[in-house]
Amino acid sequence: MAKLFRVCDLGELQPGDKLAIAIDSESILVGNIDGKIYAVSNICTHEYAELVNGFLLEDTITCPLHLSRFKLETGDVLNPPATKPLKTYKVVVQEGGVYVEV
């Protein structure tokens, strides 16, 4: 059964910002792209690297280790060496808070 977990206040995650959170045993990257909030796995699918240390540009996150790029909305891989997409999470913004469904 899915649960909502509070990540932060919406005002704490400005456009272009990203942060990593741990929920249960999952590391999740939450990013704000032009006011739209996305949540994906924080760990690159190619080799262990925390994507929060990568580069957020437009609607993508680039892995800091081998430069694989992923689309934040879908988790899709945009260039190698990664071949598997990132897990995505539903984001809910309500009452000034950002929540992730896990």
Helix (H, G, I), strand (E, B) or coil at 70: strand
Instruction: Give the span between the Cα atoms of 7 and 101, in whole angstroms.
Output: 10
pTM score, two decimals? 0.94
Instruction: Give the span between the Cα atoms of 33 and 85, in whole angstroms.
Output: 19
Which segments of the chain have a pLDDT < 50?
none
Six token digits for residue 72: 């934040």
pLDDT of residue 102: 92
pLDDT of residue 2: 84
How many Cα atoms within 13 Å fall on the side-chain side of residue 51?
Answer: 32
Question: What domains can you pick out in the chain, each with its CATH number?
Answer: 4-101 (2.102.10.10)
Residues in the chain: 102
Backbone angles phi, psi at 12, to 5 degrees: -85, -10
pLDDT of residue 31: 96
| Bridge partners, 90 (sequence order) | 101
pLDDT of residue 24: 86
Angstrom CA distances, 67 to 34, 53, 70, stand at 23, 11, 10
